[in-house]
Amino acid sequence: MQPEIVGLSILLLGLMLVIGKLIRIRFDIFSKYFLPSSVIAGLVVLLLGPSVLGQLLPRFEAFVHLDYGVFTEDIFSVFATLPALLINVIFAALFLGKKIPNIKEIWMSAGPQVSYGQSVAWGQYVFGILVTMLILVPLFGISPMAGALIEIAFEGGHGTSAGLASTFEDVGFAEGADLALGLATVGVVSGVIFGVILINWGVRKQKTNYLKDPKMMDETNLRGVIDIEDRQASGVLTTSPQSIEPLALHIGFIAIAILIGQGLLELLLLLENATWGQNGTTIVAYLPLFPLAMIGGVMLQVFMDKFDKFHLIDRDMINRIQGLALDFLIVAAIGTLSLKVIGANIGVFLILAFTGIAWNIFAFIVFAPRMIPKNYFERGIGDFGQSMGMTAAGLMLIRIVDAQQDTQALEAFGYKQLLFEPFVGGGIMTAISVPLIFQFGPWPVFIITTIIMVIWLLVGFLYFGKKDAKDIK
């Protein structure tokens, strides 16, 4: 493919993001439910691409060759390829620029949320596999690997769903990627809607500690625009641009983390080929790069904490690069979504969506108060938002109920990721869940995930749930 096509495709995605932002500002419905501009832009690409416009235009003789809508086949191929690449950037940057605290500090600050979040995540596997095997396989003939879709889509979100596309294809369940992306979109939208509903319910029932006014955000913030007097710098310059552009340096650090992850993946492949792989059991061969890129980022940050006396990595700068990659990924992933696949599996899609939403709401209302002894609503609502498909949604919900950060929910939410995301929500288990079901069948995975879920529930109920609020930082 010509480099010019790749460049043009990226420019078009940038244009779609601007259009998505303008739509969000212009139409109140999108602002009211905090729908990200990237999701709106992705829906615009979907409408203008082969799934919608490409189906309508060829019916007219003058437009018979426009099978890909306003795009070309090459441009759409670039769109489809980008998510699997950009997900590595996002996960490699996850912990760069963050001071890696000791386990005890994390445990006492974020332990209740870790136990609650882990319970919800593993429960998504449990109920996903259960509803798949009892309903979806007998009635719809779907692959048992659909049992992993709720966790992949809701906890992992668009990035993880798109990043696992090649894994779905390798195990013969290619439609899983489109179903996961569709579920992720449902998760993001319903997460914001039900999150705001739960917050209003919490205010009325006096379950929130600081939010007492149901009028939560002014019009400017609703539109996703920061007031001029409240605007802050997006990062600091850690090096002189005369020596190296700071943005280029930070991209270089992310590149190093990804390369470390690639090296780890190659080592694991060699290990598998030399051991259990000889018997035909292959797991690493289906493992995508992004969870190992995340580990590469942690390893690089530990190294920098010890040897970098100049503190060259600025977290805000990393956040901007990560956010850039995520926005472009979401636009490309949603834009290349196959509506035919979802339409052909609409029953499966709706049942999985209902199961995931119901489980997450139930867990927040029933489990969170019994597992998080201090400021459960403010801390738990962030985990609810994340469990519905997007960390940003969790952060947004926390900011609504704790705008002044009085509950330390934001800090605990950040610490929680260190003991959460390496495993679920886009971590190792998320990446290997489909290959595990493919290799060993759904019921062994169901048993394992049930045991792990019960263990985390017991930790939450019997350990953290019994603690006094003053024992939690």
pLDDT tens series, the chain, 473 aa: 688 999 999 999 999 999 999 998 888 777 666 567 887 898 899 999 998 888 887 777 766 677 888 899 999 999 988 987 888 898 898 889 987 777 777 787 788 989 999 999 999 999 999 999 999 999 999 999 999 999 999 988 877 887 788 889 888 998 998 899 889 888 877 887 788 788 888 888 888 887 665 455 555 555 666 667 767 777 888 899 999 999 999 999 999 999 999 999 999 999 988 887 777 667 777 777 877 888 899 899 999 999 998 999 999 999 899 889 988 988 887 888 777 778 888 999 999 999 999 999 999 999 999 999 888 898 899 899 889 876 666 766 777 787 666 777 777 777 777 778 778 887 789 888 999 999 999 999 999 999 999 999 999 999 988 876 566 65
Structure tokens at 472: 């939690």
Residues 6+ apart with CB under 8 A from 13: 41, 45, 79, 82, 328, 331, 332
Structure tokens at 369: 């108060």
> Residues 199, 200, 203, CA angle at the centre, nearest 5°?
85
Tell me the one-letter amino acid at 153. A
In a domain, 326, yes or no: no
In a domain, 61, yes or no: no
Enter the pTM of the model. Answer: 0.75
CA 85, distance to chain mean position in Å, is: 15
In a domain, 253, yes or no: no
Q: Which domain holds residue 139?
A: 100-219+265-318+341-471
In a domain, 149, yes or no: yes
Which residue pairs from 6-10 have beta carbons closer than 8 angstroms and sit at least 24 positions apart in sequence?
6/78, 8/75, 9/75, 9/78, 9/79, 9/82, 10/78, 10/82, 10/328
In a domain, 276, yes or no: yes
In a domain, 255, yes or no: no
In 3D, which of 153, 115, 98, 97 has the Cα closest to residue 419?
A: 115
Q: How far does the chain reach from its first CA to its final CA, in angstroms?
A: 54
Q: Could you give the CA distance from residue 83 to residue 162 in angstroms, rounded to a whole number?
A: 6
Q: Could you give the CA distance from residue 403 to residue 230 in angstroms, rounded to a whole number?
A: 14
Domains contained in the chain, number: 1
In a domain, 145, yes or no: yes
In a domain, 35, yes or no: no
